[in-house]
Structure 1
Amino acid sequence: MKTRPAICHRKRRYGSEAEAIAAALRARVTLRPYRCELCRNYHLTSRTKGMRSLPRQPVAN
């Protein structure tokens, strides 16, 4: 995913994919982490078409 500089600067940055996934799982909407080509950190996006999905959370019985 190619991020424009203005978008990159507005988005929250996560130092690792694990941090980004944890934040995505806490969100109320479906989010997916991706590595930004500009800053080399991770951002979150709501775009999911054609992308790999997030790991599923275990369902409590």
Structure 2
Amino acid sequence: MLFTMAMLGLTVTMAIFTRYIRRQLALVRSGRTMEPATPGQVGIFMAVFFVVALSLAAVL
């Protein structure tokens, strides 16, 4: 159950951040390096993942 909740949470979080992930992949494909994530971006990602995981835990 815990694994399922974590994977669903990561999947939903990935769907939310699709635009950012696509931009990073486009940079790599064009031969440039990925932009490092700022502390603010990491904080937002963790907060969104936490909210999604709690929401899924409440539903499941």
Shorter-chain TM-score: which interval? under 0.3
TM-score by length of structure 2 reads 0.23
Q: Considering only CA atoms, is the larger Rg found in Structure 1 or Structure 2?
A: 2
Considering Cα pairs closer than 8 Å and 6+ residues apart, tell me whether 1 or 2 has the greater RCO: 2
